[in-house]
A and B are shown apart, each in its own frame.
Chain A
């Protein structure tokens, strides 16, 4: 390196070469500067669909479609819960909702912790299957059971209700039974549902389109 010119600087014995800026360094620096206005204009010139909020709404609508296209928007009542209780693939979805939101009080298997055991035959706030959905949506016991209507999609409430309904009778060891004995759940609606299922699907698709509008 003896051929590189030195500056005439010396500080406490430290000298400095007068080397030019390395070419790759200079050009990468310039490139990173040039990149910026283009990026800015692309995302911040007001074109629709490029803001975070727009992107989120698209992704959310897509997710809702992926999850519920088949079933449309459900009604939160006894028959829907009973119907989905018998459909294993949908009970699985309900289980995912349960694991995300309910295990901290009701335990991983519904055996009960701060909240009651869901796997026995006794119930505190429930007389018939539709009440499960009501309790989940609106809460119960002076806030002991929180309300979930503004946290979960209506379908999620139905499906998690279905999951909870089918926990009954598994009798997982946990919190002792609380509340009163209630009559068994009604039998799930018979298979003639299949036909009306298709109708429901179309109906649901229409509602689905509505649901895509940002709330």
Chain B
């Protein structure tokens, strides 16, 4: 069995050097070197620990959804605070460390060189773990950007940029430059693409203006922020969860199967098409939203084109196993890989399908997306990482794996766990989508009460808990097996020394044979030349020039990005101005900050799509011009609760107060947890100013009063809201509670569209000199009267 092969493969390198037919003999002086496997051991251990943490966090949030009351109103363990923790732990901690383990193990061997700097390797390891710990501390405390998979605030983002690009990227590139293998194998191409693209995505998505150490305001607003965020979000999937794992597959799968890779040509074509096409596809997360339609169409078309490039990886993986299927039957490592690659194929078929607009109209905001994501994350990323770990463990710990049976058991538990997770959630997604749009024969919504659509899928959420439980127990088996294997490690690790010739400066590529099968055929030379070109000798040249290769990848990625981003930012007609849309008042802005920190976007969208079933349920569909002061945009991607884009004025302020206190009381069957803490925690009016200043700096037109007298202005509005709550039957003297700011914000969402433009008066709500409750009432009445009845027919 391959997993028990212990250290045999470590000697392969030297065998390779002496016996493999190397095309052009390197004649440089022989150098001896050894591999840094200690760093691989570190990353592998971290992978296993974070796998447990990430999946366990997933299990916890799954339980919170079916039993929201168990959080007992403790804010740190609410679903909306913990869900980002789960996604970040799964992606950046678990998958991230798995990538690094793969990169550090395979790159050294593929380059016949130790990592360039052991110090940088360690800095990378500890820096990354620090980032994870910082994330785990800040997110539950509500220190978050509330932009999916980019939740971390700016100081941590800076640290990520340094650790990723300079420490990891620098170390990796220098290793490539100092390598002793002339050509770079396809796995390395994927690693290059990963490092470059993730750095570009991370930096440009997270540009922000700080408002204190724990809060940054995105330099992009509304539609453009949404565009950038999903350019990032989609390509985080592409270049953090796909390309590095393809690199991993290209190294570990042929190694474990001991079979040659199916097709070199396919590697080239699918690599470049993947890198170039993927980057365009982000807008498919924003179909039917206020994003300009042309961008959404581009997103869809490039996703459709992406289908085959993605499948190229699957084919190359699965067909590499031709003639080795008997090994798959016996070796759990290969079983993990086969199931992993199969799930990759399924998800990358489903992805383009979901990006087709008419399918997306049904699937978007539903649990379908969650099922899709988990077939990718649990199936592809999880199983590829597990397969790699089980292959690595005996090699890095230089002993037999403790129990092969437990590996098999993990495989089966995990596989059944995935199926038990995704099948109910696919069903739940379909049910949601169909119930939301169902109309009876009289043209009315069949399920007008949103809670009804939630309640009907709760039992499927329970099944998910069961599936998740199985998957987590599989991870526990991995932990235990690793621990037992580690106990059996030798007292000192054997560090074999290898020799290989240094690469000579001068090198002439063995020219690809000029003769083609068309040599004797009477045809144009052009055709013959194309036939030679198709043999890809030109690409072979790139493979020995790592810097050139890196530049080419950068050009492909950045070029494709600019094609889409430049028009999004420069064409003014993308976002038609709405005269009545004004900046949030200081209190509302701070309320929005609370909305953002609580992570409300995890359950509530703020984007009504132009569909009748949707506008009947929520109100007039969202317009691009409504979001110009939204930093970050909060359109959301999921509706566990109803959309809030027209929440302003929909409920009384006192209703909101009661609803925060105990959602299930005012809305029986609601799965929203209590936000009692917002009713208790003090609203510190003097902490509002930095938020207003940052928004003003980014172009929101605030007057001097709002800028210099921020806390008074906010306090006056808070008094008005509190008075309103009292007059509606609520408790007195609550103007200094956080809930008041949040209610002020909620009452503002989506109302500007219906205001009648004030003639010549830039008077924002904030500076209305409302002092007594009478004036307050007047101001409120004014806001209420401003709604134009001409829009009534749209509802």
Contact = CB atoms under 8 A, between A and B. Distances in A.
Interface in A71-106: 89, 92-93, 96-97, 99-101, 103-105
A9 B9 CA distance: 19
B276 to A, nearest CB: 12
B170 interface: no
Interface string A36-59: 100110011000000111011001
A73 to B, nearest CB: 9
Contact of A56 (B110, B311, B442, B621): B621
Contacts of B449: 99-100, 103, 108
A170 interface: no
B183 A9 contact: yes
B649 A147 contact: yes
Q: How large is the interface on B (under 10, 10 to 19, 20 to 34, 35 or more residues)?
A: 35 or more
Contacts of B612: 56, 59-60, 63
A20 B265 contact: yes
Contact of A12 (B16, B315, B322, B658): B16
Contacts of A144: 652, 654, 727-729
Given A17-B262, A142-B777, A151 B301 contact: no
A99 B110 CA distance: 64
Contacts of B621: 56
Contacts of A138: 784
B261 interface: yes
B314 to A, nearest CB: 10
A12 B789 contact: no
Nearest to A10: B20
Nearest to A14: B254
Contact of A15 (B260, B617, B791): B260
A144 to B, nearest CB: 4
Given A142-B777, A150-B792, A215-B793, A16 B267 contact: yes
B262 A10 contact: no
Nearest to B794: A215
A204 B272 CA distance: 61
A173 to B, nearest CB: 15
Given A14-B260, A32-B305, A143-B728, A105 B265 contact: no
Contact of A20 (B263, B444, B646, B794): B263
Contact of A151 (B255, B293, B650, B728): B650
A66 interface: yes
A6 B620 CA distance: 62
Contacts of B307: 28, 32
A125 B777 CA distance: 17
Given A66-B442, A153-B793, A18 B322 contact: no
Contact of B264 (A7, A35, A36, A154): A7
A14 B320 CA distance: 11
Contact of A25 (B21, B23, B315): B315
B728 A149 contact: no
Contacts of B440: 96
Nearest to A99: B448
Contact of B610 (A56, A115, A152, A156): A56
B260 A215 contact: no
Nearest to A44: B294
Interface of B: 9, 12-13, 15-16, 20-23, 106, 109-110, 112, 181, 183, 185, 251, 254-255, 260-267, 269, 273, 288, 293-294, 297, 301, 304-305, 307-309, 311-312, 315, 319, 322-323, 439-440, 442-445, 448-449, 610-612, 615-617, 619-621, 646, 649-655, 658-659, 665-668, 724, 727-729, 754, 777, 780, 784, 787-795
8 contacts: A1-B322, A12-B185, A20-B263, A56-B610, A100-B445, A114-B658, A142-B777, A149-B787
Interface of A: 1, 6-22, 25, 28-29, 32-33, 35-36, 39-40, 43-44, 51-53, 55-56, 59-60, 63-64, 66-67, 89, 92-93, 96-97, 99-101, 103-105, 108, 113-115, 138-139, 141-147, 149-154, 156, 211, 215
Q: Nearest 4 A-B pairs (CB), nearest first?
A: A100-B448, A29-B308, A66-B443, A15-B260
Given A17-B264, A114-B652, A151-B795, 11 more contacts: A1-B322, A14-B251, A18-B265, A32-B305, A39-B301, A43-B293, A44-B293, A104-B659, A105-B651, A139-B784, A215-B793
